[in-house]
A = this chain, B = another copy of it.
Amino acid sequence: MSTGQAILLISCIDRPGIIARVASHLFALDCNIITSDQHRDNEDGHFFWRIHFESLKKPVAELSHDLASSLPDLMRWEQLKFEVYDTARRERIVIMVSRLEHCMIDLLSRHHSGELEADVIGVISNHPDLEPLARPFDVPFEVIPVLKDKKGEAESQLLERLVALNPDTVVLARYMQVLSGELLSRWRKPIVNIHHSFLPAFAGSRPYQQARERGVKLIGATAHYVTEELDAGPIIAQATTPITHRDTVADLTRKGKDLEVTVLAKAVRAHLKKQVLTHHNRTIVFE
């Protein structure tokens, strides 16, 4: 009889016996491994492990407590880090948007149909335009305008609201403002962004214009974690689609929307399932 499921993420310097020891420990704690994914970075010897297991006797909360106290002794390996997530606990998400609706509607629609294992607890925008489209999904919509000469004030207000809402993850679903290093240094939880190019090509503003000017034959979209350096954070997901000389910037914008929606949803989903680990500004994605 399962009393709950959890995900255990482990990273450390690889040494023989890790799998044997942890798997035996979980077995002794009456846990059954459902899926297990691992990766070894051969360049620096780091080992990454994601274990999805069910607890057969103890409640997951109690088990997490046991693991937190027992693992450090069990795995005296260098640079050990680990986290336990109760899969019954739903993550809390805040979506941020500007004027373009496609990514917001897509995420709300997936949320509505039960596809996202999380609760969208709010939408924050610097414009009021999209409020009517969010309404049928029963998610609070807040407007925090960003005036050209008062960006600092807007960011203070944004930070205050994030602190109050307390999401686990913020998703920038075509939010057209750059978040300052100041804000990022104070809000340390994950922020997922969608950029409308196949990074590192066409970082910064107007990527479809840049793509048209360079004459590329495909356009792309990139979902990544936000870091201080613009469009340079760890990449979670990317995709491209073919274009031709006939496509104007408007056509690229239209074709790109489908990519943005798909890539962002894929990245958010993987992030919520704790399938994404970061290392050296890159990601390991256990799909």
- For chain A, the count of residues having a C-beta within 8 Å of the partner chain is 68
Contacting pair A240 B198 (CB below 8 A): yes
In angstroms, Cα B141 to Cα A136, docked, is 15
Q: Is A79 an interface residue (CB 8 A)?
A: no
Contacting pair A244 B198 (CB below 8 A): no
Contacting pair B19 A19 (CB below 8 A): yes
The DSSP consensus for interface residues of chain A is mixed
Q: Is A24 an interface residue (CB 8 A)?
A: yes
Write out the residue numbers on chain B whose beta carbons fall within 8 Å of the beta carbon of A227. none
Write out the residue numbers on chain B whose beta carbons fall within 8 Å of the beta carbon of A280. 215
Contacting pair A283 B36 (CB below 8 A): no
Stretch at the interface among A65-73, A86-94, A187-195, A230-238: A230-238
Contacting pair B16 A27 (CB below 8 A): yes
Contacting pair A101 B112 (CB below 8 A): yes
Q: Which residues of A contact B (CB under 8 A)?
A: 16-17, 19-21, 23-24, 26-27, 30-40, 42, 56, 100-102, 105, 109, 112-113, 115, 132-133, 135-136, 198-202, 214-218, 220, 234-240, 244-246, 248, 254, 258, 261-262, 265, 280-285, 287
Given contact pairs A16-B27, A19-B27, A200-B202, a sample of 8 additional A-B residue pairs in the complex whose CB atoms are under 8 Å apart: A20-B23, A20-B24, A21-B27, A101-B113, A109-B133, A198-B216, A198-B218, A244-B287
